[in-house]
Homo-oligomer: A and B are copies of this chain.
Amino acid sequence: MSTDHDAAGLKASILVEALPYIRRFAGKIVVVKYGGNALAGTSEHDALSLFAEDIVLMRLVGMRPVVVHGGGPQISDLMKRLGKETEFVDGLRVTDAETVDIARMVLKGQVNPQIVAAINVHGHYAVGVSGVDGGLIRATARDERLGFVGDVTEINPEVIHGLLDDEFVPVIATIGSDINGQAYNINADTVAGAIAESLGAEKLVYLTDIEGLRRDVADAASLIRQTTADELDQLVADGIIAGGMIPKVASCIHAVRNGVGNAHILDGRIAHVLLLEIFTDSGIGTMIKGLHGTTGLQGDDA
């Protein structure tokens, strides 16, 4: 019986620890960028199920999660199956009309409904949209030679606000369109930041396959628990942050300087990493503090 009591006490203490966070984040919007690479630590299906549970829990306790996803590997896979070669111009990958159609099919027609379905196993929560729906993401060509690779020119978040007001979880495929209805493929990391800004999100979260940012790439002990946009500017300038992390980090910097509470780089390989970040005192991964954000570490500034 004392074991029972101990277990009960532990359960109770964890619930009590979560309490101030539930209060703090009630009604707050959290934009989560979910990428294929975040799933590396476990089988894809299980990772998606765990992620879906986290999203549902966040929504159930009154938060308003928004999921943004890309799907690079899946696009490459379908292109390969269709025997479609990628063209290059001056060494840069070109997204021709057929490629952007394939990207749209994969993102909106394959990855998006998989995420929606995984969430909706728990109820009628998620609704998948792309940037074409309700004019959500207005885009323009980045460089004509690259074809239909787009930059975001405008976010029209009415459709997202409508879904959130109806208590749905929007799941967003990062296809945008120009004024003529032409589709563009857009970097999902960048879209996540732009969406978070347009919604005035409390948190912008990138699920990745790294533990977090490091001050010394070679030294696991140099993991950055908490930092600022200014420090990140320096780390980028110094070349410490590089490669595929650049769009994420640039979006984090821009977001926290434009009204988003905090930004987070989390390790998507840890089960329920979203819950652990949000509902526990210790936090996890790397947090970039915004001007108005609340800190996940101390948990006492409500």
Contacts and interface: CB of A to CB of B under 8 A. Distances in A.
A121 B179 contact: yes
Interface stretch (A57-65, A85-93, A197-205): A57-65
A8 B132 contact: no
The range of chain A's interface size is 35 or more
A178 B77 CA distance: 27
A73 interface: no
> Of residues A112, A163, A181, which shows the largest number of chain B Cβ atoms within 10 Å of its Cβ?
A181
Contact of A132 (B9, B117, B158, B279): B117
Interface string A4-19: 0100111110111011
A108 interface: yes
A181 to B, nearest CB: 4
Report whether over half of chain A's contact residues are helix, strand or loop; otherwise say mixed. helix
Interface stretch (A224-232, A233-241, A243-251, A270-278): A270-278
A130 B106 CA distance: 15
Contacts of A168: 134, 159, 162
Contacts of A181: 117-118, 120-121
Contacts of A53: 16, 19
Interface in A159-203: 159, 162-163, 165-166, 168, 175, 177, 179-183
B57 A16 contact: yes
A217 B228 CA distance: 63
A76 interface: no
A259 B159 CA distance: 30
Interface in A250-293: 270-272, 275-276, 279-280, 284
Given A60-B26, A275-B12, A113 B162 contact: no
6 contacts: A8-B270, A8-B271, A62-B62, A108-B128, A113-B132, A124-B159
Given A15-B57, A81-B82, A120-B181, 16 more contacts: A8-B271, A10-B10, A61-B61, A61-B62, A82-B82, A105-B105, A109-B109, A109-B110, A113-B132, A121-B180, A123-B135, A126-B134, A127-B129, A127-B159, A128-B129, A129-B129
